[in-house]
Amino acid sequence: MLKLVLLLLLVNLFQSDERQAEREHMVVHQIQDRGVKDELTIEAMRKVDRHKLVPSEVRHLAYQDRPLPIGFGQTISQPYMVAYMTESIRPGENFKVLEIGTGSGYQAAVLAEIVAEVYTVEIVEDLGKRAANDLRDMGYQNIHFKIGDGYYGWQEHAPYDAIIVTAASEQVPPPLLKQLKDGGRMIIPVGSPFMTQQLVIVEKKGKRIRSRNLMPVRFVPFTRSK
């Protein structure tokens, strides 16, 4: 019995070492080589166990350069996209960030490694609950979960230093713009579902709203509750 336990422990150690090596490779070749420079973002991408947040059927693919299915017709974004979006909000250690579209919880975990508090909203109840359980098991205490339509943001904790939306919306939801701090940044894929969308960075300065297209992207659709 004891031998078996020791053997399992060894296998486990070996596997987590192997995943660490895969993750390093991902950070260098998928993220740094493509121009992500923010040290806080890179450090967070090095830390988060992405393989613990994807379904077991695709766990072996966790560090590949692609999005992966997570059930309910949804996907976990490609690692590079997560790093790029994280960097684009210029995250600071004392930030309070709102994420719309919890999904697997991976983007929330990356943010939680950097910022003070993460508030994340998911419309598919089973996904939101699974992510909350997984992230608690992984020890995250600064991520707060809500099930609901993220169109309305999370008013109770507003304003936010930054907002990350991970589902494609036809336009920027006005409640999210309202809940963004003056001087804050929001990143959001804008466009029709099932077509190429634009990743847009929105900056709020007083009454002035400045938007810039960053790159074409493909995200799952922003759905609305009835």
In the complex, which residues of this chain contact ligand SAH (CB under 6 A)?
Answer: 74-77, 100-101, 103-104, 106-107, 121-124, 127, 149-151, 166-167, 220, 222-224
Q: Which helix (H) or strand (E) holds 113?
A: helix 106-114
Least separation, in Å, of the C-beta of 215 and ligand SAH?
17
Least separation, in Å, of the C-beta of 161 and ligand SAH?
18
Q: Which is nearer to ligand SAH, 73 or 183 (CB)?
A: 73
Bridge partners (DSSP) of residue 202 are 186, 211
CA angle 98, 210, 198 (to 5 degrees): 70
DSSP state of 148: S
Q: Which residue has the tokens 């297209």?
A: 213
Least separation, in Å, of the C-beta of 38 and ligand SAH?
18
Name the residue with the smallest CB distance to ligand SAH: 103
Least separation, in Å, of the C-beta of 15 and ligand SAH?
22
Q: Which is nearer to ligand SAH, 42 or 83 (CB)?
A: 83
Q: Which amino acid is at 90?
A: R
User: Which of the following is catalytic: 56, 77, 88, 104?
Assistant: 77
Nearest CA to 148 out of 206, 199, 101 is that of 101
Nearest CA to 176 out of 91, 87, 212, 184 is that of 184
Residue 211 appears among annotated catalytic residues: no
Q: Which is nearer to ligand SAH, 29 or 224 (CB)?
A: 224
**Positions marked active-site:** 77
